[in-house]
A and B are shown apart, each in its own frame.
Chain A
Amino acid sequence: MLKKEKKDEEGGKSSNPFQNLDKSTVLQESRVFNETPINTRKCIHILCKVIYLINQGVQFGTTEATETFFAMTKLFQSKDITLRRMCYLAIKELANIAEDVIIVTSSLTKDMTGKEDMFRASAIRALCKITDSQMLTGIERYMKQAIVDRNASVSSASLVSSLHLLKPNFDVVKRWVNEAQEAVSNDNVMVQYHGLGLLYHVKQNDKLAVSKLITKLSRQTLKSPYAYCLLVRIAAKYIDEDPESTENAALYDFLESCLRQKSELVIYEAARALVNLKNIKTKDLQPAVSVLQLFLSSPRPTLRFAAVRTLNKVAILQPQSVMTCNLDLENLITDVNRSIATLAITTLLKTGSENSVDR
């Protein structure tokens, strides 16, 4: 009996070493952080446990969290990459619970500006998480440099962090638009996307600036499909807000040109934007509807779902435009994905005539 129990325990342990973890035991274990020399593997494992517990929704008290946080700062002596990265992760997790987290500012600033590329990007993200508006001016110089850094992950990390900081620190972050502008012409797809994103979030409320941004970028070719999707959304919003504007014809052409892009992401985004425009004429709907019709017979469920969902919306306002897709929609009635089948049926109910119901 005893033997069996032991075996069960072992079996359970190997299937999930994190099962039945106890907070106080883990906190106790985290005292290992103070030992020298640092036991890298053990410390990584304990940090992992701490993050896991927080993720499971276990509540940490301020004192407990602060103690663990301070013990963790000792680990910065180690040069092990994984351990350091786990520290950054734990800093971000504990930032909202522990007190005096700014204690790690200098360590993080050092990592952010250091030579080790593996540290820089994630150090920036951790640093921006603990930075308040007072400290932000202190690191502003480094942030600007990091945005235009040659390393894509560093550049992306600082752009995204700037975005998170934007709301409470608008006046500081808006001074970084020149750097963000430079990022938009970066060759890296993600840097370009993040650059455009930050730029738009800063300029959002300045109608003229947004208009200039769209006009300029819609003439360029962007490398990033994500950036294109964002630009499509910005353009569509602009058209909708001012339907009488003289620039709309050019913007409309831009949206339509996106239907001929290589990336499905962009094609779908453009089709979706076009059919959702408030003042679209029936004849202008056709190119977008044809593209969506092609997606209806895709082997990939998500593509079919996306297309049928969008067409369903069109059918509410303009059933006659969707009628050309009826045959493809009928094929979807028996789709294995129930959502697709349901959407196909409700769409057909709006567009179908009596004889198609019979079939």
Chain B
Amino acid sequence: MDDRILEASLYTIKAVAILDNDGERIISRYYDDTFATVKEQREFEKNLFQKTSRQNAEIIMLDGLTVVYRSNVDLYFYVMGSQYENELILVSVLNAFFDAVSTMLRKNVEKRFLMDHLDVVLLAIDELVDGGVILEADSNNIVQRVAVKTDADVPLTEQTVAQVLQSAKEQLKWSLLK
């Protein structure tokens, strides 16, 4: 088979991952056997983190994969595909992924908050990609389908003063840290 042309297939995504700012895995899903063992996956993630954490370049080629990524505060979001994959498709998936998580976490895309709502994030990834096939690439649809009521969903008027102050403080803190 000529390697310049990618086989027409629905199997597009090789992996998605969220790493923290030490390069440790928070969640990663691998959809084929590019990396056969967890050990290989972790090694790849370490390597990937090293290459991507310092420069915000959005796209990188690594170990025969095309990887697109985005970072926010202390989190790194990755979407990976074959090196012959249409890069723009991968980016559209990454954006849907990031935007969906961001909406569901009420813009608090940071590790502590994400860990508190890990169930929601797991469900979002499940709605995003199914076994390597892009299932939904519209962040609004993903949020709608996950339809999880988090604490953050309580309308502002119904929150206690303490809650409002707390969230205001958080937002200020992170905007200063950025």
B134 / chain A contacts, CB cutoff of 8 Å: 190, 193, 226
Q: Most A CB atoms within 10 A — which of B42, B88, B122, B134?
A: B88
Interface size class of B (residues with CB under 8 A): 35 or more
Contact residues of B: prevailing secondary structure: mixed
- Contact indicator B8/A226 (Cβ below 8 Å): no
- Contact indicator A82/B148 (Cβ below 8 Å): yes
Contact of B111 among A16, A45, A48 (CB under 8 A): A16
Contact of B126 among A15, A89, A264 (CB under 8 A): A89
- Contact indicator A81/B136 (Cβ below 8 Å): no
B109-150: CB near A (< 8 Å → 1, else 0) gives 001100110110011001000110111111001000111110
Q: Is A7 an interface residue (CB 8 A)?
A: no
- Contact indicator A302/B88 (Cβ below 8 Å): yes
Question: In the bound complex, how far is the Cα of B60 from the Cα of A44, in angstroms?
Answer: 36
B88 / chain A contacts, CB cutoff of 8 Å: 264-265, 268-269, 302-303, 306
Query: A337 and B57 in contact (CB under 8 A), knowing A226-B89, A303-B88?
Result: yes
Contact of B92 among A18, A118, A153, A265 (CB under 8 A): A265
- Contact indicator A81/B119 (Cβ below 8 Å): no
Q: Is A344 an interface residue (CB 8 A)?
A: no
- Contact indicator B57/A301 (Cβ below 8 Å): yes
Question: In the bound complex, how far is the Cα of B8 from the Cα of A276, in angstroms?
Answer: 14
Q: Is B6 an interface residue (CB 8 A)?
A: yes
Contact of B86 among A56, A157, A268 (CB under 8 A): A268
Question: In the bound complex, how far is the Cα of B55 from the Cα of A85, in angstroms?
Answer: 37
Contact of A233 among B8, B118, B122 (CB under 8 A): B8
Q: Is B73 an interface residue (CB 8 A)?
A: no
Chain B residue at minimum C-beta to C-beta distance from A51: B122
A230 / chain B contacts, CB cutoff of 8 Å: 8, 10
- Contact indicator B59/A301 (Cβ below 8 Å): yes
Smallest beta-carbon distance B51→chain A, Å:
10
Sorted from nearest, which 5 A-B pairs have the closest CB atoms? A57-B38, A197-B10, A233-B8, A337-B57, A301-B58
A-B residue pairs in contact (CB < 8 Å), sample of 30: A16-B112, A45-B119, A52-B27, A55-B27, A57-B38, A81-B147, A92-B126, A118-B145, A122-B126, A153-B136, A193-B134, A194-B10, A198-B10, A200-B8, A226-B89, A230-B8, A233-B6, A233-B7, A236-B5, A237-B7, A265-B89, A276-B4, A301-B58, A303-B88, A305-B87, A306-B87, A306-B88, A337-B55, A337-B58, A339-B60
